Amino acid sequence: MMARDIRLPAPCSPSRPRPLPAFAAGVLVIVLLLLAAASGYATDNTGLEAIMASRASQEYRAARDYFYRLERDRRESGKRQNWLNGIRNFRKIYLALPEGKLAPSCLYMIARMYRQMYDRFHHPLDLEEATRSFGELARRFPGNELADDALFATAEIYLHEKKDPARAATFYSDIVKRYRRGDKYAQAASRLRELGRTADVTVSGQLVAKAAPEQLVHVLPVRYWSSDDYTRIVIRTTAPVHYSTRLLEKNGSQPRRLLVDLHQSYIPPKFRAPIPIEDGLLRQVRSGQFNDNTVQVVLDIESISDYKIFSLNDPFRVIIDVHGRKKQKPAAREQVTATKPPPPPVRVQPGAVKEKVSRPAARSGAPAVVILRERKKKRVAAAASPAATVPATGPDSISLAQQLGLGVRRIIIDPGHGGKDPGAMAFGLKEKDIVLKVARYTASMLRKKYGYEVIMTRDRDVFLPLEERTAIANTKKGDLFVSIHVNAHPKHSASGLETFYLNLATNTEAMRVAARENATSTHNISELQDILTDLMKNSKIRESSRLARYVQTNLVQGLERDNYRVKDLGVKQAPFYVLIGAEMPAVLAEISFITNPAEAKLLRRDSYLRDVARQIAAGIAAYVDHQRTAALRY
């Protein structure tokens, strides 16, 4: 009986399934049910994780917005409980998804808030909590971009607050060994050398020993732009560096000097030649190797009233904005001999700025320096009829809008990107080409219809660094600055128009847009916000926000009247590099998403680009008209 049950069928017999014993069949059913349940659970769990991640992102944005409000509102920031509430917001997100992509950022924000609490309330427990959270971040997420920041912050606590330089040195050393490409490497290496010279700390010989030039960050040629009351100096390096500044008062024959020390740096001899400026604010810029690992850049001052220093990333550069009043030359230099009559005055077209490239002798190896000098414009009489706005017909014509628009007559239009930087790309389109067309159309309409003087930062496909665009606007004394860009998003469904002005970012999406246009990371944007408050003290934020509203409103309503389906994303604020340091109301317009299939089709049509340009120009004119009307009321 048993043998007959297990006998195989004959080779010529057709193969067919045989019934399983009842016990085996039952086991198989149970196994299949368990596998199906496990598969269904995995699917459900994946969906659950996606939902949790989306919710966590929303909660993180809200938590960070709350943190920024605390930083801005002195009254609210003076209450310890508000800071604890903010920390609780981030901790809740971290505990819900301790392995999620937001976990390192939550830990960093928790530590950062505890650190600021200690500075405000001086509770030792806050400092301990900050140290613990920074340490947990560095330990659990060593590959995250915030890991070296956490280690550096911990080292700074041990060095400055706990007065334990030996312990601090271990954290600095960890950064130098493990994060050579991190943005804290240069500062950590500099701290180690300082500790090796000034404290009883045992640091490995490798770290204290003299570094070869190829191991140091190289300083590139200094660039500058200058007018009669403003100069922008840009110090570029091959990698991020830690820098410090000192202002030395006049001493005997030595003029006032502004010193910028770039640590862990080397400047090749060919870049050390002094660069004469002599614009009435600065005499010259001198760069040299101060010691084995420090480059010192010296600004010899003629007459300045104020200056700001800040750094930008990707690539790293230190920017110095100098303000003041040019000293009048002695009368003797302006005298002309009787035998030679003075040359006739040269009429300069309004807005024309002479660009000069100074090139020292080739054998000196000194860098080429771009110098932009302002030329004064001639004022003309008012228009004969105050009831009409007459377009400018000549180089010195001024329209009624310009005469009554609170001095708004010169507008700077900035087409984003260009040259080697194409900007956003999708569907065969490049942002740099689109915005150049829109900028040209906008400039033409502002000139012909409204009679404004317009200067474009670029009128062809060339690359301009972001800091140079602002310098051009300042040296050419623009009254308004409008930068034109095209948006992009990983989701092709994203669409709409939005206009930004310079301020702290109010949400994650604004930071994402700023990071893309700045060609940097959201982490760098977050760090920039820490110093942005000081940079914007004298900025025209209120006027910029009003200009942004007029541009955005005209874009949306005007395009809707033209029968386009438009999504209004509103007016937002974010730290855009191109707007930092602008001395006039300045905005950045994002005109549709190149990554959206429907909007990409529109961006391919010149008629749509002309309509966008017309509405930008109308928004600018409406802003000026509002300023004029408001002024006439008082």
Q: Where are the alpha helices (DSSP H) in 457-604?
A: 466-475, 508-518, 522-535, 541-561, 597-603
Token pair of 63 as six digits: 């938590």
CB count in 10 Å sphere of residue 200: 7
Mind listing the pLDDT tens digit for each residue in 451-483?
Answer: 999 999 999 999 999 999 999 999 999 999 999
- In the 8-state DSSP scheme, what is residue 250? P
Residue 448 CA from chain centroid, whole number = 34
| 93 in Cβ contact with 102 (< 8 Å) | yes
- In the 8-state DSSP scheme, what is residue 162? S
Place of tokens 């009351």: 229
β 480-487/410-415 pair status: parallel
Q: What is the C-alpha separation between 136 and 151, in angstroms, rounded?
A: 10
Region of poorest pLDDT, from 31-45, 241-255, 284-298 = 31-45
Instruction: Find the angle CA(353)-CA(375)-CA(540) to the nearest 5 degrees.
Output: 80
Q: What is the C-alpha separation between 310 and 532, in angstroms, rounded?
A: 9
What mean pLDDT is reported for the chain?
79
481: phi then psi, degrees, rounded to nearest 5: -130, 120
The percent of residues above 90 in pLDDT, for the chain, comes to 50
Q: What is the C-alpha separation between 267 and 244, in angstroms, rounded?
A: 17
Residue 201's pLDDT band, with cuts at 50, 70 and 90, is very low
Q: What is the C-alpha separation between 564 and 53, in angstroms, rounded?
A: 35
Query: Helix 147-156 crosses helix 165-178 at what angle (to 10 degrees)?
Result: 160
- The pLDDT assigned to 27 comes to 52
The stretch 341-348 carries a mean pLDDT of: 36
Q: Letter for the amino acid at 403? A: Q
pLDDT, greater one: 19 or 319: 319
Question: CB-side exposure of 87: number of CA atoms within 13 Å?
Answer: 17
Q: What is the C-alpha separation between 388 and 399, in angstroms, rounded?
A: 9
- Ranked by mean pLDDT, the top range of 51-55, 59-63, 525-529 is 59-63
Q: In what order do the strands lie in the sheet with 243-248?
A: 243-248, 257-263, 294-301, 282-291, 275-276
The stretch 151-162 carries a mean pLDDT of: 94
- The pLDDT assigned to 432 comes to 97
Using alpha carbons, list the distances in angstroms from residue 345 to 341, 342, 348, 374, 396.
12, 9, 9, 16, 14
From the list 68, 53, 150, the residue with the least C-alpha distance to 104 is 150
Residue 135's pLDDT band, with cuts at 50, 70 and 90, is very high
100: phi then psi, degrees, rounded to nearest 5: -75, 170
Question: CB-side exposure of 315: number of CA atoms within 13 Å?
Answer: 12
204: phi then psi, degrees, rounded to nearest 5: -55, 145
- Ranked by mean pLDDT, the top range of 169-178, 340-349, 591-600 is 591-600
**In the predicted structure, residue 350 carries a pLDDT above the cut 90:** no
The region that residue 274 occupies, defined by phi over 0 for left and psi between -120 and 50 for alpha, beta otherwise, is: beta
Using alpha carbons, list the distances in angstroms from residue 395 to 246, 399, 406.
45, 12, 20
pTM higher than 0.85: no
Q: What is the C-alpha separation between 442 and 351, in angstroms, rounded?
A: 17
The stretch 253-273 carries a mean pLDDT of: 91
Q: Letter for the amino acid at 55? A: R
β 275-276/282-291 pair status: antiparallel
Q: Which domains does the chain have, with CATH numbers?
A: 40-212 (1.25.40.10), 215-327+352-363 (2.60.40.3500), 388-633 (3.40.630.40)
| 274 in Cβ contact with 264 (< 8 Å) | no
Q: Letter for the amino acid at 503? A: N
Q: What is the C-alpha separation between 116 and 133, in angstroms, rounded?
A: 13
